[in-house]
Amino acid sequence: MGSRPEDSTSNIMRWVWAANRGNPVGENATLTFGRNGNLVLAEANGRVAWQTGTGNKGVVGISLLRNGNLVLQDNRGRFVWQSFNYPTDTLLVGQGIRSGGTTELISRVSNVDGSKGPYSVVLEKQRVVMYLKSKNSPKPILYHVLVDQGGFEIIDSVVFNSVPETEDAYVYNLNLDFYVDNSTTPFSPRLARPRYNSILSFLRVESDGNLRIHTYDDRIIRGSWEVTYRLFNRNEEGSRSVSECRLPSRCGSYGVCLNNNCVGCPSPKGILLAWSETCASPTLPPCKNGSPPIKASYYKVVGVEHFTSEVTEGEGPVKVSECRGKCNQDCGCLGFFYREESSKCLIAYELGTLTKVANQSHVAYIKMSK
């Protein structure tokens, strides 16, 4: 029990669940399994930081199962409480998100800070989607759709699974099992196919917004962890992978991406400078919605799309002047993306990675103060 950073390549332990996420305890804290069946994490002064709430509910034992599930059981072996029902950013094999329970995975801030980060995978009624939470936006920003049932079937749960493909278990399939309309037979798209036992795998929405599978390979001395699947993938292998240029943070807070590489930093003069991690959009003066709009101007970047462009083209048709006016009135707006052939307008609350495209009628207007 406990936690440790994952910044050491020699460390084979992986941090996959936190009971008291965002509420860390200090030195001399205690984890106590009481006689009444309640599991309690408390500060040295007795303040309860987290508990299972299972006091006097028939719990007689606690076990950490081989699949990583921490369970509290009654005298018949039934689970009264289990950690699998409360995922944080990670799914272990056999674990899922479900309607009526925990419906989302939320990323960490970093590998060493387990508090809630800005990215999430969310089970909605008829689709599974990925969001970016931004301080500028009134609502989370949709940046990828994993599955969309098209309004016909309700998704009950999504479970991460590892299934041997052959009788000798030489090859395993790592799947996401989608259960719809109370069916017991899932739709199971394959994400990865390791040629070794992949039971020790986990699926995680990570601090950069990517969705990855990590698998433990015990065929070598001391074992090692391998990334067996990336949703946003440099090689774009298979139908379940997407270009890294569609990852919001691929080029940091601002930058142009082409062929999965950060190739430029747009400047107010309309030219692309060499990209670096210091590349940033213009700093805007503080304002509040409802107050008079700032005096803004815009510079144009030709042949680029927003990282959300595959899930939304924006609103329209509208004139470019109307789109500019809408951004002027919105304090959170950092710029807008415009498709000249369809007159579609997309207001951007985060700029992030701009994907370079061949279509020169897809343009961005970056907001700057006069």
Given a contact cutoff of 8 angstroms between Cβ atoms, the answer to whether 346 and 335 are in contact is no
Together in a domain, 131 and 167: yes
- Kindly state whether residue 12 falls inside one of the protein's structural domains: no
CATH number at residue 55: 2.90.10.10
Report the number of distinct structural domains present in the chain: 3
Same domain? 126 vs 207: yes
Residue 360 has phi, psi (to 5 degrees) of: -75, -5
From 222, 239, 256, give the residue that closes a domain: 239
Helix, strand, or coil here: 55? coil
Measured between alpha carbons, how far is 31 from 188 in angstroms, rounded to an integer?
Answer: 38
Do both 251 and 356 map to the same domain?
Answer: yes
CA 97 vs CA 176, 231, 366: distances in Å: 11, 18, 38
Q: Record the tokens describing residue 286, joined without a space.
A: 């503080």
Encoded tokens for 320: 């470019």
Q: Which helix (H) or strand (E) covers residue 325, if one does?
A: helix 320-328
Residue 293 lies in domain: 245-369
Find how far residue 275's CA is from the centre of its chain: 25
Say if residue 93 is in the same domain as residue 210: yes
Q: Is residue 162 part of a domain?
A: yes
Per-residue pLDDT tens, the chain, 370 aa: give them.
554 555 544 578 899 999 999 999 999 999 999 999 999 999 999 999 999 999 999 999 999 999 999 999 999 999 999 999 999 999 999 999 999 999 999 999 998 899 999 999 999 999 999 999 999 898 999 999 999 887 678 999 999 999 998 777 778 999 999 999 888 899 899 999 988 889 999 999 999 999 999 999 888 766 789 999 999 987 755 556 799 999 999 999 999 999 999 999 999 887 789 999 999 999 888 877 666 677 889 999 999 999 999 999 899 999 999 999 999 999 899 999 999 999 999 999 999 999 999 999 999 999 998 8
Contacts 24+ apart (CB under 8 A), 259-263: 260/234, 262/353, 263/356
Shared domain check, 267 and 306: yes
pTM of the predicted protein model: 0.91
Same domain, 72 and 100: no
Q: Tell me which of 64, 84, 104 is where a domain ends.
A: 84
* 80, 97: one domain: no
Is 4 among the domain residues?
Answer: no
- Determine how β-strand 335-339 pairs with β-strand 362-369: antiparallel
